[in-house]
Amino acid sequence: MENLPVFYLNRETRFGLARTEAATEEVPEKAESNPFAPEEMAGYTVTAILTIINLLIAYLILKRFVFKPIIRVMEKRREAVEAELREAADKSVQSEERLAEADKALQQARIEAADIISEAREQANRQSEMIMSTAKEAAEAARRKAEDDAERIHRTSVDLMKEEVADLAVAIAQKVIGVEISDSKKEEVRHSLNADSRKAEVRRD
């Protein structure tokens, strides 16, 4: 293709050859770069300063809009937990106090119940003894009354019998002697019979 005249080449081919030649002429030799060159170090310093500034800005933004709300939430949560713990401790103390009071009241109730039972037993014993004593006294009084009644009935019967015997003796005497006996004599006979019967009872006793 190089040996052919230029006018034999088409338009595209001629344009490509022209670009290749221009590029070959314009490419200069690259100089070797030094990372420790002053220009490079200045660039590093600026980059580091900008990075530090960006980090500080990011830290301030995070502290203002992220860290502080989180810290406030955590502080509120800590205070709430502490309040719950204090409330639980107070309730525990109150529960222990109420339990101690209930135990004390139960012990007092048991003591009072024991005292009431003991008093009831003593009162029952006293009432039983009183009832027994009253019953014995009533029985003794009834026995004495029965004996007195029997004695009175016996004496009344004996007196009646004495009067009847005296009257019978007087009547027999009147028939035997054929003379009516006066009332005074009748009384003497009755007294004599009563005296004899009393002497007989005394001897029997």
- Whether 28 is covered by a domain: the verdict is no
pLDDT given at position 167: 74
DSSP tag of 13: H
CA distance 56 to 49: 11
- Whether 118 is covered by a domain: the verdict is yes
pLDDT digits over 98-116, tens only? 889 998 999 999 999 999 9
Q: What angle do CA 147, 151, 155 make, to 5 degrees?
A: 175
Count the domains in the chain.
1
pLDDT given at position 30: 44
- Whether 24 is covered by a domain: the verdict is no
What tokens does 193 get? 């019979």
Q: Decide if 166 contacts 190 (C-beta within 8 A).
A: yes
- Whether 65 is covered by a domain: the verdict is yes
Q: Which domain holds residue 135?
A: 36-204
Question: Which positions of the chain have pLDDT values less than 50?
Answer: 1-9, 12, 17, 22-31
What tokens does 88 get? 């639980």
What tokens does 143 get? 């026995």
pLDDT given at position 200: 57
Q: Which pTM does this prediction carry?
A: 0.35
- Whether 12 is covered by a domain: the verdict is no
- Whether 8 is covered by a domain: the verdict is no
pLDDT given at position 57: 93
- Whether 16 is covered by a domain: the verdict is no
